[in-house]
Amino acid sequence: MWLSMMYPRLELLRELLAEDGSIWVSIDDNEAHYLKVVLDEVFGRRNFILDISWQKRDGAPNDRTIASVHEHVLVWGKAARQGKESKKTVAEQGFNLMPRSEKANAQYRIFEEPDGPDINGAFRKIDTTANGKGGRHVDSLVYPIRNPYTGEDVWPRKGTCWRHKKDEMQRLQDEGRLYWGVKGTAKTPMRKLYLSEAKQGMTTPSIWAGLALNQHASREIELLFGEKAAFETPKPEHLIQRVLHIATNPGDLVLDSFLGSGTTAAVAHKMGRRWIGIEMGEHAVTHCQPRLAQVVAGEQGGISKAVGWQGGGGFRFYRLGATAFDADGHIHADIDFATLASYVWFLETGAPRPTTAAKSPLLGVHAGTAYYLLYNGILGDRRPQGGNVLTGPVLAGLPPHDGPRIVYGESTRLGPQRLTAEGITFKQIPYDVRSR
């Protein structure tokens, strides 16, 4: 049931996704594996990137013998992997590294050497020898290298070989990239890896433990709304922050089609991303809208302090109107005037029609052009086709406009010459009203 509800929505999401975009789905053990198969079908198995285990509970519930404490975050890219040499999808190539952690940097240190510390700064030491197991011992990699401090020729220890070819080892030596110990008397040198040359970020592993738990999210929700357990599975802001850090850049567009408490939109907003949230429950009004208004006003929970959030920006809140088209793309027979008017206006201008707009066949004027809609007896004539046909008298009764006019109606009795003379472009319902 649930999967068949999801399928067409996932297909739509795929259509909406940018070519270099990615989709991130958080899901628990009950549905994760079924959903994986469906998403593989929609996005293509070759575009599957990762199944992240997000630790959502600190410990297992103690009324069980075994219990899950994590949730899955499944990730797909849209565009296919490129070429054999690269195993990455387009989305993955565009992902951001995580900032280097202090723990990672702590592996690099300043070491004493006979002629003082290296001017290139902190480094990490790695082995220059291979132990000969697993077929890695190669005779051509057994040669002497001169210790510059003692002048001795140094060979790899018995049963081992160097990791590098002779000219590469010589280059490391010439560039001062071999470490011979504090006194310069090491039996074998170590290779220096400088912090200044280390990758400017870290690869994100697939286990996300100690990041933020469900209970943190519940606390965030409680602080925002003053009520406990309003949502079953709210996500902590720090979890969404990591996702958006990896997958997006400032200004990118983030869509959450199941907005829930509005966390994705709140975090996207604080991180300078543009966002669209869709929610069908009443909490769109009772929770999402006020929460995002708080964010705009500078709310200080969640990731606010971490990103220096001070408030700003804004958003629009829309309610979906009645469905304009049936599954075959035909206009619904019982669609009312206001709904079709909003639709036509948006189709023509790309802008929303104010809900306060007067009920008039003149929908409005945009960039000097007036838009009219003759539909559903708007002119007061309730006969089946009454008022929906552009005739001379109907035209005479329309609110005037000095400039080009676009009139939507079921048909017109005015010939092409008259229409041209009146500056009218006639568009026929339903043919000129398209679902796309």
Ligand X SMILES: C[S@@+](CC[C@H](N)C(=O)[O-])C[C@H]1O[C@@H](n2cnc3c(N)ncnc32)[C@H](O)[C@@H]1O
Q: Is there binding between residue 26 and ligand X (CB under 6 A)?
A: yes
Q: Is there binding between residue 291 and ligand X (CB under 6 A)?
A: no
Smaller CB separation from ligand X, 234 or 302: 234
Among the residue ranges 140-148, 260-268, 341-349, 401-409, the one whose residues contact ligand X (CB under 6 A): 260-268
Locate all alpha helices (DSSP H) within 128-236, ordered by sequence: 166-174, 214-225
Among the residue ranges 63-71, 151-159, 258-266, 343-351, the one whose residues contact ligand X (CB under 6 A): 258-266
List all residues 6 or more positions away from 134 whose beta carbon is below 8 Å from its beta carbon. Answer: none
Locate all alpha helices (DSSP H) within 226-364, ordered by sequence: 237-247, 263-270, 283, 289-296, 304-307, 337-349
Residue type present at position 167: D
In the bound complex, what is the minimum distance in angstroms from residue 340's beta carbon to ligand X? 23
For residue 348, give Cα distances in angstroms to 7, 204, 367, 433: 31, 45, 11, 10
CA distance 244 to 266: 12
Q: Is there binding between residue 72 and ligand X (CB under 6 A)?
A: no
Q: Find the helix packing angle between 289-296 and 214-225, rounded to 10°.
A: 80
Out of 47, 263, 342, 412, the only residue in the binding site for ligand X (CB under 6 A) is 263
Q: Which residue is nearest to ligand X (CB)?
A: 260
Residues 212 and 236: beta-carbon distance below 8 Å: yes
Binding string, residues 298-337; x marks residues near ligand X by CB under 6 A: ----------------------------------------
Residues 337 and 344: beta-carbon distance below 8 Å: no
Rg (CA), the chain: 33
Smaller CB separation from ligand X, 234 or 361: 234
User: Can the peptide bond before residue 290 be classed as cis, meaning omega within 30 degrees of 0?
Assistant: no
The backbone torsions φ and ψ at residue 398, rounded to the nearest 5 degrees and listed phi first, read -75, 145
Residue type present at position 197: E
Smaller CB separation from ligand X, 281 or 352: 281
In the bound complex, what is the minimum distance in angstroms from residue 309's beta carbon to ligand X? 19
In the bound complex, what is the minimum distance in angstroms from residue 281's beta carbon to ligand X? 4
40: buried, middle or exposed (CB in 10 Å: 19+, 13-18, 0-12)? middle
Out of 159, 201, 281, 403, the only residue in the binding site for ligand X (CB under 6 A) is 281
Residues 20 and 178: beta-carbon distance below 8 Å: no
| Sole residue written with tokens 């208004």 | 293
Q: Is there binding between residue 258 and ligand X (CB under 6 A)?
A: yes
Binding string, residues 216-255; x marks residues near ligand X by CB under 6 A: -----------------xxx--------------------
| Closest alpha carbon to 392 in 370, 373, 414, 371 | 414
Among the residue ranges 54-62, 126-134, 279-287, 379-387, the one whose residues contact ligand X (CB under 6 A): 279-287
Out of 110, 138, 280, 322, the only residue in the binding site for ligand X (CB under 6 A) is 280
In the bound complex, what is the minimum distance in angstroms from residue 420's beta carbon to ligand X? 46
Smaller CB separation from ligand X, 70 or 137: 70
The backbone torsions φ and ψ at residue 389, rounded to the nearest 5 degrees and listed phi first, read -110, 130
Smaller CB separation from ligand X, 252 or 348: 252
- The sign one gets for the Cα dihedral 187, 191, 196, 202 is negative
Q: DSSP class of residue 109? A: B
In the bound complex, what is the minimum distance in angstroms from residue 291's beta carbon to ligand X? 12
Binding string, residues 174-213; x marks residues near ligand X by CB under 6 A: ----------------------------------------
Smaller CB separation from ligand X, 25 or 161: 25
Contacts with ligand X by CB under 6 A lie at 26, 233-235, 256, 258-260, 263-264, 278-281
